[in-house]
Amino acid sequence: VDFIIRKNADRISTQLNNTPAGVIKISTPEATAIDLIGYVGHCGGIDNVATVLAELAEKIDAGHLIEIAGFSPIAWAQRLGYLLDQIGAEEKSEGLAGYIKNKRPVRTPLIPALSIKGASMDKTWQVFVKLIGLNRRTPGKPARTDIKVARSVSQNCEVLAGIDFDLEPKRHAPF
């Protein structure tokens, strides 16, 4: 277990959540989204972040997301906006795009650990996106790919990062 400490944690919005053990404070969906993209290495990679964001997006309040973005580096907001667009939650990222434009951000890589050499630039978010080994799945045929980084470019693509993904179910021999 890695514990991450934020200097401004007391300023990040929370909400109360009832559990069998009592009421606890948890981060709001907007604060969770920002933290996911900010600590992508601790969250299992960009693919896991995109998966969680896809489920979390319906709970995100676009106005509150802009407020929360001010407590984190602008690059986190850029990456989050880009991912929200990629998962089809553009209505959640529209206000964030205006916030970022007013900040006049520096271009940033989607995944900080990767080189930007050969990456394309998303002009809205000022994010370098590097696609390596993106393969579309052919309907009816299993796909096996070794994808380093990918983004969702259609309904036939998976958002994957750094995993060897086998879409054919494994058959186990009986003992």
The rounded distance, in Å, linking the Cα atoms of 51 and 64 is 21
| Tokens found for residue 81 | 């906006």
pLDDT (tens, 9 = 90+) of the chain, 175 residues, equals 777 777 777 778 888 999 999 999 888 999 999 999 998 887 878 888 999 999 999 999 999 999 999 999 999 999 999 999 999 999 999 999 999 999 988 999 998 888 888 899 999 999 999 865 434 334 443 333 323 333 332 222 233 333 333 333 334 444 3
Specify the pLDDT at position 132: 53
Amino acid 43: pLDDT: 82
Q: Are 120 and 148 in contact (CB under 8 A)?
A: no
The pTM of this model reads 0.70
CA dist 128 and 126 (Å) reads: 7
| Per-residue pLDDT, 151 | 33
